[in-house]
């Protein structure tokens, strides 16, 4: 599982490089990340720690 401020990279989908975790869904299935001023949501299984 990820924590706030963890640095992660996408294993599936568009590779935007290193992203910072800023939020987690209540069920734990989605992670909110920021990269280059954008805020995105990824499924947990599509991310890994950098």
Residue-wise pLDDT tens digits, 4-50: 999 999 999 888 999 999 999 999 899 999 999 999 999 999 999 99
pLDDT at 1 over 90: no
Burial class (CB in 10 A: 0-12, 13-18, 19+), 17: exposed
Q: Considering only CA atoms, which of 16, 35, 17, 13 is closest in space to residue 44?
A: 13
pLDDT of residue 13: 83
User: According to the model, what pLDDT value does residue 5 have?
Assistant: 97
The residue written with tokens 């280059």 in the block is 36
**What sign does the dihedral 10-16-20-26 (CA atoms) show?**
negative
């Amino acid at each position: 599982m990820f924590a706030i401020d963890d640095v992660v990279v996408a294993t599936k989908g568009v590779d935007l490089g290193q992203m910072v975790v800023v939020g987690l869904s209540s069920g734990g299935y989605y992670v909110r990340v920021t990269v280059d001023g954008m805020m995105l949501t990824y499924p947990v299984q599509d991310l890994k720690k950098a």
